[in-house]
Amino acid sequence: MRKMNDQSGCYRPVNIQGNKVSYRGSCGDSAEKEVKRQQRRFLHKDGSCNVYFKHIFGEWESYVVDIFTTLVDIKWRHMFVIFSLSYVLSWLFFGLVFWLIAVQHGDLFSDEEEVTPCVANVHSFTGAFLFSLETQTTIGYGYRCVTEECSLAILMVILQSVLSCIIDTFIIGAALAKMATARKRAQTIRFSYYAVVGLRDDKFCLMWRIGDFRPNHMVEGSVRAQLLRYREDKEGRMTMEYRDLKLLNDQIILVTPVTVVHEIDSDSPLYGLDRKALAKDNFEILVTFVYTGDSTGTSHQSRSSYVPREILWGHRFNDVLHVKKKYYKVDCLQFEETTEVYAPHCSAMQLEQKEQEWNRAEKTREKQAEKSALEIKYSQKSHSAVALVTSCEEPEEPVTAPSQPPGDVPYRKAAVTLSRLSIESQI
């Protein structure tokens, strides 16, 4: 087997048998597999994590040390098996102990009635097992009992009684704690299958819905969203980058379905993505909802996720809440429904830049309009001043003045100039 390089610079393994050359795979297939490997979900839609742990150091030791949490986390069928085995094995163990005590004392092989046995009416292992069962469950049929002959048998009865109390407390407590977790309650919290991107108050926003369809609602709840992006370093290793998404309504009371809104601003990791870039990008949005139930008062968590193919650009959710005369009506059929609306295909960054350019152009036009208005007003005032000065210099009825000497002409011109300047200053 050899590796051959094609024109695209990609190495592919080949098999050479005589004059036949066969390729194994192609660059396109490897690239496609790599993309598929990167796009695997981290969190499924039902909230379960797509994570598998392998070769854990001290796996069984950690489970045994924290046995109570292990019993609470395991499935009910495994819990039932452990519940049954804890009792059956304890009955068998102490039955074996009582049978060995009887064998050592000679109660099974002695026919003399004068010999007092350690456990009365125990003649076989079956009898010893029935005595152990009656002792631990406190049935007390009255046929088999411990005598004063053997102190060891009395001590075993005491130990079995104490152990039975411990098993009852432990197993029943774990079962009650498992029922109190109410994980089925989290399944009634529903996330919309799709998230949408659209304009809200002239801003790009990412939105999804959360609804609770039980008659008894939770006390309070908080929503959190994180963007998980897969990065590949220079050595080809995959790393995960988490970034929080700022929500406009993270504290909600989920009486009716609520649309959670994330505004795509300069602090958002989606700020530079347009419609095509969003569809081709490789990320996952993890959403969690932590709330307190009003029935039990315990905290619960519901989870879901959205990948790029589950984000609809230029859509909005339909209205589910309708106001009636005496009540509010919630139409659950419209919970998942969306309507296509107008939204630019550009990114939020490009939209903001265009708005800034438009605002600057508007301000420039306003300044030019104000400047032209001032120039027109000033020119109108200048024309009125000139007309007033002209009317002062040219009287309606000419008066014949007597002849004056030549030296008085400059004096009259100076007086007329002064009067013109005084009128313009008044205007």
- Tokens standing for residue 267: 């602090």
Instruction: Please name which of 181, 209, 185 lies closest in space to residue 195, comparing C-alpha atoms.
Output: 209
Residue type, 340: E
What is the distance in angstroms between the CA of the first residue and the CA of the last residue of the chain? 102
CA distances from 74 to 50, 62, 137, 178, 304 (A): 18, 14, 26, 9, 22
Which long-range contacts link 79-83 to residues 24+ away (Cβ below 8 Å)? Answer: 79/174, 79/175, 79/178, 82/171, 83/171, 83/175
Q: Look at the block and give the residue holding tokens 């790009």.
A: 204
Bridging pattern class, strands 311-313 and 195-200: parallel
pLDDT of residue 32: 44
Question: DSSP strand E in 52-202: where?
Answer: 119-120, 145-146, 189-191, 195-200
pLDDT of residue 186: 63
- Tokens standing for residue 282: 């490789």
- The answer to whether 341 touches 198, Cβ cutoff 8 Å, is yes
pLDDT of residue 398: 47
| Helix, strand, coil percentages for the chain (3-state, nearest 5) | 45, 25, 35
Q: Look at the block and give the residue holding tokens 């809104």.
A: 261
Give the residues across from 316 on adjacent strands: 339
Instruction: Please name which of 179, 112, 102 lies closest in space to residue 147, comparing C-alpha atoms.
Output: 102
Instruction: Please name which of 293, 75, 81, 85 lies closest in space to residue 182, comparing C-alpha atoms.
Output: 293
pLDDT of residue 383: 55
Q: Look at the block and give the residue holding tokens 């002062």.
A: 392
pLDDT of residue 158: 92
pLDDT of residue 57: 67
The span from the CA of 46 to the CA of 288, in Å, is 11
pLDDT of residue 387: 54
**327 Cβ partners below 8 Å, 6+ apart?**
none
pLDDT of residue 317: 92
- Tokens standing for residue 360: 């600057």
Element (H, E) at 425: helix 409-426
Q: What pTM did the predictor assign?
A: 0.62
How would you write the pLDDT of the chain (427 residues) with one tens digit per residue? 444 444 444 444 444 444 444 445 454 444 444 444 446 788 888 888 888 777 776 666 777 777 778 888 888 888 889 889 999 999 999 999 999 998 888 877 766 566 788 888 888 899 899 999 988 888 877 788 888 888 898 999 999 999 999 998 888 888 888 877 656 666 678 899 999 999 988 889 999 999 887 777 776 789 999 999 877 777 777 788 899 999 998 888 888 889 999 999 888 999 988 889 888 888 899 999 988 777 667 777 888 999 999 999 999 999 988 888 888 888 888 888 999 998 888 888 888 888 888 888 888 888 888 888 777 776 765 655 555 445 555 554 444 444 445 545 454 555 545 455 555 455 4
DSSP state letter for 41:
-
pLDDT of residue 91: 93
CA pseudo-torsion sign 138, 143, 148, 150: negative
Question: DSSP strand E in 27-143: where?
Answer: 119-120
Phi, psi of 243 (to 5 degrees): -135, 130
Q: Is 258 helix (H, G, I), strand (E, B) or coil?
A: strand
pLDDT of residue 262: 93
- Tokens standing for residue 133: 């069962």
Burial of 88 (0-12, 13-18, 19+ CB in 10 A): exposed
